[in-house]
Homo-oligomer: A and B are copies of this chain.
Amino acid sequence: MKLRFGLIGVGRMGKVYAHHLTSTVQDVELVAIADPAPGAAAEAAMRWGGVPLTDYRDLLKREDIQAVVIATPTHTHVEVVKAAAAAGKQIFCEKPLSLTLEGCDDAIQAVEAAGVMLQIGFNRRFDPAHVAAMEKIKAGVIGKPVMFRSSGRDPKRTSLEFARRESSGGMILDMGIHEFDTARWMMGSDVVRVSTEGGCLVYPELKSVGDIDNAVINLRYENGAIGQIDLTRNAVYGHDVRTEIIGSEGALYIAKLQYTDLLVMKPNNISHDTVPYFMERFAEAYSAELKDFVACLREGREPSATGKDARAATAIGIAATQSLDEGVPVEVNRS
C-alpha cells in the first residue's frame, strides 16, 4: 500500500522533494502541499498533484496523510515538527532542525513523546560516494579512522538577508552543519572540542549582518581522533565538497572537481567545468534520503539521521561559532 505524504513548504528544497515524491520514490503518494506564500501551493499542486493548502495545520489535520516532509524556513522547523508529532505524523525535516539546542531538544522531546519517527535531511549520508566510503570504513579497509578532513565550499555568498546571524546562524552553522554531521557520522565518535579561525575577507558587506566568509576549524574527538574543516563562500570556481578520512591502514578521499565529462584541450591548457552548486552535487542524495525514510518507516528501523544527530551537529556549530568570537577552543555541549 502506498505511503501517503504531505509536503509542508514548497520553496527551493520543497520543490526538490515534491519532484522525488512523485517520481523517483516508489509506492508513495503526495496527498497535499501546504505553503503560506500566495499561489505557491496551488502552482506546485498543478505540477506534482495533491491538494493545495495555505496553512500547514490543515494539512496535519488530514487523516489520509501518514508522513510529512517539512521544508519550511529554518526558524519554523521546531514549531512544525512539534505540531506534526502531535498530529501523529511521521516526519522528514530538512536540515537544520534548529539553530539552537533548546529548539532541537524541544523537537526531539515532542517526537519521542508522540512515538513518531524523525529523520533529518543530511544529504551527505545519502550521497553514493559517502555511502561507499562508510562501507569501506565498516569493512575495515582503512583500519582505525584517526583524522577527518572536510571542505565545504560555495561559489558565492548568500543574500545579506539570509546571511544575518539571527536568520542563518552565521556561515559556520549554516554551511558547516553538513561537515559537522559528516564529521560525527563517518568517524563514529563525538566531537568534544573545536577551535576556529575565520574572517570576513572577500565580501565586506557581510560584516554589516554579522557574518563571515571564510573559516577553518579544528576538531577533537571523544576517542582521541582529530579533525579539520575549512569553509569558504568564495570558491568562485564552483561548489566543492571534499571529505577525507585517514586511518591506520589506509585512507578515503571523496572529491568531485569535474561536472560534465568533457576535457577541452587548447595550447598548453586542458580544462573542464565544475559542479555548479549543491543541488547538482547532491541530486541523487535527495532521492535516496526520501527512499531511506520510506524504508525506515516500512521496516520500523531507526532513521539514518535522527533528531539527536541534528542536535549534535548544531552543538558543534554553536561551539565553533563561539570559538570564532572568543578566540579560544570551546568544549561542545553534549548533554
Contact = CB atoms under 8 A, between A and B. Distances in A.
Contact of A237 (B133, B146, B201, B265): B265
A155 to B, nearest CB: 7
Interface string A203-228: 00000000000111111100011111
Given A235-B251, A257-B263, A273 B132 contact: yes
A232 B142 CA distance: 14
Nearest to A327: B329
A246 B234 contact: yes
A227 to B, nearest CB: 7
Contacts of A133: 262
B216 A199 contact: no
Interface in A65-101: none
A178 interface: no
B146 A214 contact: yes
B264 A250 contact: yes
Interface of A: 19, 22-24, 26, 47, 128-129, 132-133, 136, 141-142, 144, 146-147, 149, 151, 153, 155, 193, 195-199, 201-202, 214-220, 224-228, 230, 232, 234-238, 246-258, 260-274, 276, 327-329
Count of chain copies? 4
Contacts of A256: 261
A276 B265 contact: no
A87 to B, nearest CB: 29
A275 to B, nearest CB: 9
A144 B236 CA distance: 12
B219 A197 contact: yes
Contacts of A246: 153, 214, 232, 234-235
A146 B248 contact: no
Contact of A253 (B136, B217, B265, B327): B265
Contacts of A266: 141, 236-237, 249-250
A219 to B, nearest CB: 7
A261 to B, nearest CB: 4
Given A147-B214, A235-B246, 14 more contacts: A132-B262, A153-B246, A193-B197, A195-B329, A197-B227, A201-B225, A215-B226, A217-B218, A234-B247, A236-B251, A236-B266, A256-B261, A268-B276, A270-B272
10 contacts: A146-B202, A146-B214, A198-B226, A199-B224, A201-B248, A250-B266, A254-B263, A269-B271, A270-B271, A271-B271
